[in-house]
Structure formats: structure tokens, C-alpha cells
Amino acid sequence: MSDDTVTEARWVAFGPAGAVGSIHRGGEGYTVRLLDDESERGVYPSLESAKGALHAAMKPGSAWPEFREH
């Protein structure tokens, strides 16, 4: 039996026009990046707070994106 633990994961955020950004889980937390960003926007302690930060970084009035784990 293995005790392997997954410490990294990725979620892609999709809006009506397609992918808008992503969230990556790493050792320090969850990082947010929109497609046009050159670097991450910050590290968040939970997936829910990272989802909120990604949505807040989108254009005002944007619908909540659909998040799919990859």
C-alpha cells in the first residue's frame, strides 16, 4: 500500500467565451492567474478564497466562472 499524497493540483476557470484563468495548489497554498497575467496574483489559504480572488480579478459584472479540475 502506498502513502502517496497529492500536493499539487490545477483548476481551470471557464467563462462564456472559454478559459479565463487558473488556480494551482502547491505547498504554500493556492495561486491565481488570469490568462493574460505574466505571474501569479497571490497565494490564498483555501480553494474557495482563490476562486473568489479569480472572480474578483475578472471584468466587473462577469458571471461566476465554472471551475474544472485538471
Give the start-to-end residue ranges of the domains of the chain: 9-69
Q: Which residues contact 52 (CB under 8 A, 6 or more apart)?
A: none
Q: Which pLDDT score, from 0 to 100, does residue 4 have?
A: 59
Q: How confident is the model over 18-57, as pLDDT tens digits? A: 999 999 999 899 999 999 999 999 999 999 999 999 999 9
pTM for the whole structure: 0.86
Render 15-68 in DSSP notation, one character per residue: ETTEEEEEEEEETTEEEEEETT-SS---EESSHHHHHHHHHHHSPTTPPPPEEE
